[in-house]
Amino acid sequence: MNVSLRTQDPTRRPTLSELADTRCLVLGAARSGLAAVRLLRRVGAHVTLYDRDTDRLAAAPEHVQTLSGATLPSFDTFDWIIQSPGIPVPPSQHMVPEVDLAALGIQAQQVGVTGTNGKSTTTSLIAAMLEQSGIPTAIGGNIGVPLCDLCERAADWCAVELSSFQLEHARWLTPRVGVLLNLDADHLDRHGSLEAYGAAKERLAQLLEPHGTLVFNLDDPWAASVAARVHPRGALGFSTRLRPSRGAYLDASTRELVLAPRGTETLRVRSRDLAASVAAHPGNVLAAMLAAWAAGASPHGITTAATTFAGLPHRMQRVAERNGVRYINDSKATNPAAARASLENVREPVVWLAGGSNKGVAFSPLASATGGVRMAILYGQSAQEIASVLRGQTEVEVVPTLREAVTRAAQLARPGDVVLLSPACASFDQFDNFEHRGECFTRWVEELPCSS
């Protein structure tokens, strides 16, 4: 029996098999949209795929109709409207986010992670801790594999990175464990205000299973407020400054990360033993420790992952050393808060490359983060806007493109400097995404000549 969203009770969660023979419109032909198409076709739905970019529609599978155009097609002839996260659409009982479609078919229990910064690293670290504990774990969502593609993956748990775009209209996703990291200004061009952006991310706490576990950042006012308001019981706090009665914390006297989810110590990990990829952000490790514990990870698995985690590309990734200058790819720093955190964790003099497309946020927080910046080379759409904030704080130079910024940095950097790409902006003025930007930066650095 198939079911149409137009006739069913909107509060009822259907089964995946009920989509057979229904008419489905998928909005967006990027990774999430194509994953939704594949899942719908597997269950026998009749699928139409829409995207403004006709080139993307070339990737549509067989037997899928395609539509393009500057405006969205009429929804009147479709039973289901599946929304890719990158497509802003007003909420409706007929609209289903891609993560909700995936929730109908995914068999693994889920750990969901959200926040402005640190999501990808924390999600990957949770997955590593579970795997090191012998628990089959998949990873996806806003990182790597779209959630719809994980429905047929054999795993006990799935570590899911969740963006505000994915969460804002979600209603069927029900993680067993949720992690709230932090909230800083980002994506205001879509959400309109910091309050609306925070409300979208708060959905994760609201969607948890009734007896699920919420892990939250005691040091972040937004996360602490959501935990107190939405999930006052069963919440576990982590902090690098405080000592929660139940949770995880950084012991200031011993410089150890302490896991104490029941109030008594379960595990201690020395800060100096943490993998280099996560040592600068112990809060992310504490969050992962708690979430992994809640999902059944062992002390050995947690410790092993925390001390050996290799890190992720485009996140403070060392690219090369040329003529005594170290080059670091931090292309994932797509907002001012992320760039500021990266700048504060570099000890050497910095030649900083920043710029790209703004997401409706202010760059003023960057002005006080330039203590170690010897000069800033700015490029792209937001170059002049950032320059207006930095002038008087550090030396500033503006160039049109990132490639020219790399060339100029190589000319101006001195032995012992770090050239840091930490853009504080989205990439879409010159690149497909932050990964594309980081890959281009890496290639251009590797092409730089070495002096004899």
In sequence order, what E strands does 165-323 have?
177-180, 213-217, 235-239, 247-251, 256-260, 267-270, 317-322
Q: Which of 46, 117, 142, 314 is catalytic?
A: 142
Tell me, yes or no, if 358 is annotated catalytic: no
Helix (H, G, I), strand (E, B) or coil at 213: strand
Gap between the Cα atoms of 47 and 35, Å rounded = 12
How many helices (H) and strands (E) the chain has is answered by: 13, 20
CA torsion sign, 208 to 209 to 211 to 213?
negative
Tell me, yes or no, if 187 is annotated catalytic: yes
Q: At which residue do the structure tokens 């019981």 appear?
A: 233
Q: At what angle do helices 299-308 and 119-132 cross, to 10 degrees?
A: 130
Tell me, yes or no, if 281 is annotated catalytic: no
Gap between the Cα atoms of 57 and 34, Å rounded = 9
Q: Which of 187, 191, 281, 359 is catalytic?
A: 187
Q: Which of 46, 117, 119, 329 is catalytic?
A: 119
For 1-6, the CB contacts below 8 A with 24+ separation are 2/79, 3/79, 4/79, 4/80, 5/79, 5/80, 5/81, 5/93, 5/94, 5/96, 6/79, 6/94
Active site (catalytic) residues: 119, 142, 187
